């Protein structure tokens, strides 16, 4: 199904799972870390190799085979090369207040990784967690001390958002703020899609995420 038509450049805990669901409603097939986990799709080891060898040619159509949109991990780790590989793709960036964003990451993403790291994972699960930790904000999750350094993590998050807004051509970029609310109007106008009759999805709150952590961990064992 690749090439990609939509690239979600927002980091985890910035409304990315809702964005994934919204794009699917609009008719896209969207890759997201949750999809890689729950459906055992994607090739995390090849994304890791692309990250480790940035000068090595990459067949992005192969890596995103079956998808025409991608949000959150792993696409957020490759925004620069994906912009070049897919010059017609639209980019959606959702920004969140850095303080509340970090609290959500600490209480959700990092907690899930800690649970996963204590388990015997399947081969796919091992590849997925290893790639996620290495690629996400350039390895900030690899070191427990660095994970806990709120200012460093927030600094990297803000630098990523600033880079996207500076380097993505304005006609290809829709920049939204989570605190202002996300709805269909701007998104559908940007993507050239009719507004769906159903409400914009609101899923994967901190409470929902935490309730799902045991299921995520079990899934990583069974993949």
Would residue 44 count as lying in a domain?
yes
Would residue 47 count as lying in a domain?
yes
pLDDT at 17: 93
Would residue 144 count as lying in a domain?
yes
pLDDT at 124: 83
Would residue 1 count as lying in a domain?
no
* HSE-CB for 65 with a 13 A CA cutoff: 9
What rounded mean pLDDT belongs to the chain?
91
Overall domain count for the chain: 1
Question: Could you list the residue range(s) of the whole structural domain that residue 160 is in?
Answer: 6-222
What is the model's pTM? 0.91
Across the range 11-40, mean pLDDT stands at 94
pLDDT at 209 over 80: no
pLDDT at 207 over 90: no
Q: How confident is the model at residue 114 (pLDDT cuts 50, 70, 90)?
A: confident
Q: Which of 22-26, 123-127, 164-168, 172-176 has the lowest mean pLDDT?
A: 123-127
Would residue 179 count as lying in a domain?
yes
> Could you tell me what percent of the chain has a pLDDT over 90?
76
pLDDT tens per residue, range 96-108: 999 999 999 998 8
Q: How confident is the model at residue 216 (pLDDT cuts 50, 70, 90)?
A: low
pLDDT at 1: 66
pLDDT tens per residue, range 41-73: 899 999 999 999 999 999 999 999 999 999 999
Would residue 62 count as lying in a domain?
yes
More confident residue, 223 or 110: 110
Would residue 18 count as lying in a domain?
yes
pLDDT tens per residue, range 185-200: 999 999 999 999 999 9
pLDDT at 221 over 80: no
Distance CA 40, CA 210 (A): 21
Here the CATH number for the domain that contains residue 195 is 3.40.50.300
Would residue 160 count as lying in a domain?
yes
Q: Give long-range contacts, CB 8 A cutoff, 24+ apart: 18-23.
A: 18/182, 18/200, 18/201, 18/202, 18/203, 18/204, 19/71, 19/92, 19/94, 19/182, 20/71, 20/72, 21/201, 21/203, 22/182, 22/184, 22/187, 22/200, 22/201, 23/69, 23/71
């Amino acid at each position: 199904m690749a090439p990609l038509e939509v690239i979600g450049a927002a980091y985890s805990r910035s409304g990315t799972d809702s964005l994934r669901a919204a794009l699917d409603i609009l008719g896209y097939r969207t890759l997201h870390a949750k999809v890689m986990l729950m459906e055992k799709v994607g090739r995390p080891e090849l994304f890791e190799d692309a990250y480790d060898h940035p000068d090595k040619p990459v067949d992005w159509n192969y890596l995103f085979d079956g998808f025409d949109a991608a949000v959150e991990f792993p696409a957020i780790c490759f925004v620069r090369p994906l912009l070049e590989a897919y010059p017609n793709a639209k980019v959606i960036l959702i920004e969140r207040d850095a303080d509340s964003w970090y609290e959500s990451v600490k209480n959700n993403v990092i907690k899930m990784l800690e649970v996963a790291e204590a388990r015997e994972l399947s081969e796919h699960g091992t590849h997925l967690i290893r790639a996620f930790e290495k690629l996400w904000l350039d390895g900030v999750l690899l070191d427990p001390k660095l994970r806990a350094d709120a200012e460093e993590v927030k600094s990297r998050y803000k630098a990523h958002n600033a880079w996207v807004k500076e380097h993505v051509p304005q006609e290809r970029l829709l920049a939204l703020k989570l605190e202002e609310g996300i709805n269909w109007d701007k998104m559908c106008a940007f993507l050239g899609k009719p507004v769906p009759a159903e409400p914009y999805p609101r899923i994967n709150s901190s409470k929902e995420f935490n309730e799902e952590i045991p299921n995520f961990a079990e899934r990583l064992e069974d993949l």
